[in-house]
Amino acid sequence: MGDTQHGLIARSQLTAAGVTRSQLRWRLHTGRWTAPLPGVYATFSGELSPHQQAIAALLYGGPAACLTGAAALVVHGFHTAPRERCVRIVVPCNRRVPSTGFVRVHRTTRPDLFSRRYGPLRVTSPERCVVEASRLCTDPGRVRAMVAEAVQSAHCTVEDLTRELAAAPKAGTAVLRRAVAEVLAGVRSIAEGEARALLARSTVLPAMLWNPVLKTLDGMALPSPDGWIPDVGLALEVDSRSYHLSPEDWERNLHRHARLAEAGAVVLHFSPQQIHRDPAWFVASVERSYLARLTANPSPLIRTVPR
């Protein structure tokens, strides 16, 4: 048991294994063992690793406890999880376990029916982890990043996030709700979300379509640009390797964009860094291109297909 739990053990497990109170006291007194949490013992001395802290937190919380929030996102494999010094667990509302040490306990009347197990770790579903982590996160960019990674890396679907948001407490979810709404509107990355928010405030530009389905007038499928103004055939591309494409796909995508130009579209390319570093310049660039296209009165051979 100590091996599967990385050297950690609960008091109830010690009792079942026949370890007496006096034996436990002696091992703690000699420093061979430590007690990182009440009722949880490490069969070694020294600091616990993050993984061991997660195991200890679950042993402390009891059989029905699940990891949630940022620590759980790390277990799911998220690269965008916020950094927290504590480990958060969710327990049934009738379980009277206080927060202590590095553990923060959240009680719930709503067990997670989609929780998962990774070895000794019981973890709430990715969608619930994103919601719980986002409620405690003050960085809108980080919240967007978690939503983007959740959907793009197939940890969960937008429908999963929407379902969890509807059931979760509303406090602290305003930023998350905006991020999910952006994904529902077709925005697939953090940079696209930032671009969408900036361009929506423009008094010059019409409403932009995000990730539309396009075809030529004779029915040939065209690549879907990140943003699209159909009246003037203006396409917007946020060129972000880290959120969209592998290096091989990157080259292939540039070739596909040339097909948009062949059909009469003008394709604007921006990097996430350009949008974030100089948002006024970014908006002005799109506005100038739009006005120039209006003056030119183009007739692109492209139509937008309803999804």
The mean pLDDT value for 51-65 works out to 95
pLDDT value of position 244 = 42
DSSP annotation string for 119-175? TTEEE--HHHHHHHHHHT---HHHHHHHHHHHHHTTSS-HHHHHHHHHHS--TT-HH
The mean pLDDT value for 84-107 works out to 94
pLDDT value of position 305 = 87
The mean pLDDT value for 222-238 works out to 91
Residue 275 has pLDDT above 80, yes or no: yes
The token pair that represents 241 in the structure block:
């390797």
Q: Please check whether residue 253 is in contact with residue 224, taking contact to mean a CB–CB distance below 8 angstroms.
A: no
> What tens digit of pLDDT does each residue of 10-19 get?
999 998 988 8
Least confident of 31-45, 184-198, 219-233: 184-198
pTM over the 0.75 mark: no
Find, among 107, 115, 102, the residue nearest to 40 by Cα: 102
> What tens digit of pLDDT does each residue of 111-168 get?
999 999 999 999 999 999 999 999 999 888 899 889 988 988 889 988 899 999 999 9
pLDDT value of position 285 = 96
CATH code of the domain made up of 190-305? 3.40.960.10
DSSP state of 100: B
Residue 246 has pLDDT above 80, yes or no: no
For 79-107, letters b (16+ CB in 10 Å) and e give: ebbbebeebbbbbeeeeebeeebbbbbee
The sign of the CA dihedral 99, 100, 101, 103 is negative
Residue 269 has pLDDT above 70, yes or no: yes
In percent, how much of the chain has pLDDT > 70?
A: 93
**How many Å separate Cα 177 from the centre of its chain?**
13
The mean pLDDT value for 264-276 works out to 87
Domain limits of the chain?
67-95+111-184, 190-305
Q: Please check whether residue 286 is in contact with residue 268, taking contact to mean a CB–CB distance below 8 angstroms.
A: yes
The mean pLDDT value for 272-287 works out to 91
The amino acid that residue 180 corresponds to is: V
pLDDT value of position 211 = 87
CA angle 111, 113, 116 (to 5 degrees): 105
- E strand or H helix that includes residue 296: helix 279-296
Q: Please check whether residue 7 is in contact with residue 44, taking contact to mean a CB–CB distance below 8 angstroms.
A: yes
